[in-house]
Amino acid sequence: MQFKRIGVLTSGGDAPGMNAAIRSVVRTAIGRGVEEVYGIYSGYKGLIEEDMELLNIRSVSNIISHGGTMLYSARCPEFKTEEGMQRAVDVCKKRGIDGIIAIGGDGTFRGATDLTRRGIPCIGIPATIDNDISSTDYTIGFDTAMNTVVELVDKLRDTCESHARCNVVEVMGKYAGDIALHTGIATGAISIAVRELPYDEDQAIAKIIKARENKKRNFIVIVAEGKENFAEAYAKRIEEKTGIETRFSRLAHVQRGGNPTVRDRVTASLMGKAAVMELLDGKSNLVICERKGVITSMDINKALKIDRMFKDLMTPEEYAELEAEGSLVDMRRHCEERAAAKLNLYRISQEICK
Ligand code: ADP
């Protein structure tokens, strides 16, 4: 099929590096003979409302270094309804949009697969600071968010050292504690707590007391937001049980912004190019992934299932279905490798953060 016109959108939570991905999509597409590229504003909302603008090589100039997304992002519950979806398909037909590159998280990919099923080929690009899309080792925005956390926690640590204090820092990561695990190691946190790994609070507090006896003055404890209603109360318990003055800080949305790092700019550029190449090659319903350092792709439905499996959300019926179609072993291996890498990081952090 000849692709004359394609669309690109960013949807769901924003992430630094989305602009670099948009730029790469536009420039690759135009360079490969696509006549027009529509930038669709505010994700699927803009598609339904026909809020879009033609982008060209110059209009995506000077955005690679900017955080946020020049196409804006929004949640669009209407898109999940039959009428909303039909409206999106009608707009694509009216504007002659032959395919869409959707940059976002798993919700965005669910929308992309629905659109593909209705005849508009879509390719997804994973962008979320949490790195919680299990089909890919890396999601755009993760590195920038981690660097923001490290910069802020280093500052907290300086003042903890001066005053012999402890600071419990809550970082983003609802389903995945990846930001917490990496930044905990990078900032020399004495303890890291994430939802998906067991946490022995008594042991952690004993470690703080022992380190204090050994003349340690600064104590950073990193907690992922996935451990709900935990961090603030934990700070109080640490103070009570150790006698060390303990503060609580929630870094919140500051982690979502800022100029993307080299890692995010380069990965976004590679993924943007890969997405366009797959689309022009006649493929659809794929999510671009990075696996073991290589940019590759995976069927969106398989990617969504791996995600559910990794997050332990799959029903026995879904497991039986996968077994019947022969894909269970492969998907299980994928999840096991990912879990093992995470556990390894956790163990290393426990060993060297004292
Ligand atoms: P993310 O892509 O970061 O996971 P969301 O879960 O908010 O963010 O999804 C972004 C958008 O994708 C939603 O606002 C909605 O328009 C669309 N979307 C989410 N889930 C579905 C679904 N099951 N079917 C169709 N569209 C969906």
Alpha carbon separation from 138 to 67, 323, 327 (Å, rounded): 18, 27, 23
* pTM (predicted TM-score): 0.96
Tokens 């959707």 correspond to what residue?
A: 102
Ligand 1 atom with minimal separation from the 45 CA: 16
Q: How many CB atoms lie within 10 A of CB 315?
A: 9
User: Which of 51, 78, 103, 110 to probe ligand 1 with, by most ligand atoms within 8 A of CB?
Assistant: 110
| Rounded Cα gap, residues 6 and 33, in angstroms | 11
> What separation in Å is there between the alpha carbon of 84 and the centre of ligand 1?
13
202 is catalytic: no
User: Would you call 71 helix, strand, or coil by DSSP?
Assistant: coil
Residue 110 Cα to ligand 1 midpoint, Å, equals 6
The catalytically annotated residue of 130, 143, 178, 307 is 130
Query: Which atom of ligand 1 lies closest to the CA of 78?
Result: 16
Beta carbons of 47 and 40 less than 8 angstroms apart? yes
d(CA 335, CA 48): 35
Lining ligand 1 with CB less than 6 A are 11-13, 43-44, 75-76, 79-80, 104-108, 110-111, 114, 128
Which phi and psi (to 5°) does residue 63 adopt?
-115, -10
Q: Phi and psi at residue 75, in whole multiples of 5°?
A: -85, 145
Nearest CA to ligand 1 atom 7: 12
Please state, in angstroms and rounded to a whole number, the distance separating the CA atoms of residues 8 and 269: 14
- Report CA-CA distances (Å) from 307 to 161, 234, 290, 321: 40, 30, 15, 16
The residues pairing with 328 across neighbouring beta strands, listed in sequence order, are: none
pLDDT number for residue 228: 95
Position 2 scores a pLDDT of 83
Burial (CB < 10 A; 0-12, 13-18, 19+), residue 87, is: middle
What string of pLDDT tens digits covers the 354 residues of the chain? 789 999 999 999 999 999 999 999 999 999 999 999 999 999 999 999 999 999 999 999 999 999 999 999 999 999 999 999 999 999 999 999 999 999 999 999 999 999 999 999 999 999 999 999 999 999 999 999 999 999 999 999 999 999 999 999 999 999 999 999 999 999 999 999 999 999 999 999 999 999 999 999 999 999 999 999 999 999 999 999 999 999 999 999 999 999 999 999 999 999 999 999 999 999 999 999 999 999 999 999 999 999 999 989 999 999 999 999 999 999 999 999 999 999 999 999 989 887
**Going by DSSP bridges, is the β-strand pair 52-55/36-40 parallel, antiparallel, or unpaired?**
antiparallel
